[in-house]
């Protein structure tokens, strides 16, 4: 299993280089100039000569492929380069934002799993009753409502009308509640649908009939036998959700002024801050890969028949 994990980790290296190449190629084919993007409307007051000087002084006059080679050379030494706009090391920029992203992702995931699995199991057990219908409807609404809207709705009710929670920002646990619920509920919807399907499938298996025939309590049959065997697809979808959340829940971060990686990446893209875009995408991809690896490794714990090698 250790060998398997190490092999998978080594395998991520070419994937990550592929990611940087992809980001670089996108930057290459996109028209426009980072100095103008950085200055925005203000660039209009600047003479062409002054813009060219600035480009040269910032090292942005070199052809992009040359810049990319320099970037990769730095990467091999563990140097992600400096942001063009802030001139800080990219690693420092990401380090400042990562805790907020991880905090929100874990809180949202906890809500999503609790809510999603409960709804999914309930719907499966009470299949084709009003409980099932209601659970599916809730899940459908959760998937369909844009977080932009649900986030504002929660903010209006709990911050403005009731005054129970701060509207935005990060600091205390109270600040975490609204964004975590906003993201959590929309992820819960996916988990609920997968859980329902997986539990229904498990409930149709022979061993469940056997368990029922033995006279086990229905609760025990569902939780110990059906849910346990339905875990594989659930864990897979939870892992995908977590990987996605670690990439930054951009819209939720924007609505709630949550200082996470998602907003950092979007700001960097708008400003054409290529080193920062590269670095953020790289770190997010790495996290995604690690979460997926953890999910794969957990299969063995869930189902002893799974072997790595």
How many whole angstroms separate alpha carbon 250 and alpha carbon 225?
A: 38
> Is the Cβ–Cβ distance between 275 and 71 less than 8 Å?
yes
User: Which among 186, 187, 299 is positioned nearest to 235, based on CA atoms?
Assistant: 299
48 contacts other proteins (rule: CB under 8 A): yes
Residue ranges of alpha helices (H) inside 159-227 are 173-203, 206-213, 218-220
Task: Give residues with Cβ within 8 angstroms of 112, minimum separation 6.
Answer: 183, 184, 185, 187, 188, 191, 238, 241
- Mark the segment that binds other proteins (CB under 8 A) among 51-59, 181-189, 198-206, 207-215: 51-59
Does residue 91 bind other proteins (CB under 8 A)?
Answer: no
**Least distance between other proteins and beta carbon 65 (Å):** 19
Q: At its nearest, how many Å lie between other proteins and the CB of residue 41?
A: 6
Nearer to other proteins, 14 or 32 (CB): 32
Length of the chain: 309
Output the CA torsion 237→289→98→166 (10° steps): -10
CA–CA separation, 145 vs 139, rounded Å?
10
Residue placing its CB nearer to other proteins in the complex, 93 or 132:
93
# binding residues, other proteins (CB under 8 A): 58
Q: How far is the CB of 291 from other proteins (least distance, A)?
A: 23
Least distance (Å) between residue 111 CB and other proteins:
21
Question: Smallest distance, Å, CB 139 to other proteins?
Answer: 27
96 near other proteins (CB under 8 A): yes
Phi, psi (5° rounding) for residue 71? Answer: -65, -45
Q: Which of 23, 100, 198, 237 binds other proteins (CB under 8 A)?
A: 100
Please give the torsion angle defined by the CA atoms of residues 285, 288, 293 and 299, in that order, rounded to the nearest 10 degrees. Answer: -160
61 belongs to the binding site for other proteins (CB under 8 A): no
* 247 DSSP assignment: T
Window of 109-117, 127-135, 252-260, 300-308 that interacts with other proteins by CB under 8 A: 252-260
197: DSSP letter: H
Site string for other proteins, 125-154 (x = CB under 8 A): ---------------------------x--
* 82 makes contact with other proteins (CB under 8 A): no
Which residues are at the interface with other proteins (CB under 8 A)?
30-48, 50-51, 53-54, 57-58, 83, 85-88, 93, 96-97, 100, 152, 155-156, 159-160, 163, 166-171, 254-257, 259-260, 263-264, 267, 270-272
């Amino acid at each position: 299993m250790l060998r398997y994990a190490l092999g998978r980790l080594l395998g991520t290296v070419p994937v990550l280089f592929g990611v940087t190449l992809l980001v670089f190629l996108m930057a290459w084919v996109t028209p426009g100039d980072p100095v103008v993007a950085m200055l925005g409307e203000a660039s209009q007051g600047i003479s062409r000569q002054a813009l060219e000087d600035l480009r040269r002084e910032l090292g942005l006059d070199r052809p992009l492929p040359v810049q990319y080679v320099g970037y990769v050379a730095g990467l091999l030494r563990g140097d992600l380069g400096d942001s063009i706009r802030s001139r800080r090391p990219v690693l420092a920029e990401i380090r400042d934002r990562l805790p907020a992203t991880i905090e929100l992702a874990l809180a949202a995931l906890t809500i999503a799993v609790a809510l999603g699995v409960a709804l999914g199991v309930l719907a499966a057990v009470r299949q084709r009753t009003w409980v099932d219908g209601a659970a599916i409807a809730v899940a459908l609404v959760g998937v369909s409502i844009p977080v932009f809207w649900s986030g504002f709705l929660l903010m209006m009710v709990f911050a403005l009308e009731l005054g129970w929670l701060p509207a935005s920002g990060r600091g205390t646990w109270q600040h975490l509640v609204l964004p975590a619920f906003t993201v959590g509920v929309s992820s819960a919807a996916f988990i609920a649908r997968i859980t329902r399907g997986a539990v229904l499938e498990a409930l149709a298996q022979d061993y469940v009939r056997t368990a029922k025939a033995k006279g086990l309590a229905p609760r025990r049959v569902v939780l110990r036998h059906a849910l346990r065997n339905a875990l594989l697809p659930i864990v897979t979808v939870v892992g995908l959700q977590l990987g996605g959340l670690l990439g930054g829940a951009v819209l939720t971060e924007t609505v709630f002024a949550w200082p996470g990686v998602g907003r950092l990446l979007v700001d960097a893209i708008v400003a054409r801050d290529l080193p920062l875009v590269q670095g953020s995408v790289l770190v997010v991809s790495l996290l995604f890969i690690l979460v997926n690896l953890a999910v794969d490794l957990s299969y063995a714990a869930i189902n002893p028949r799974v072997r790595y090698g």
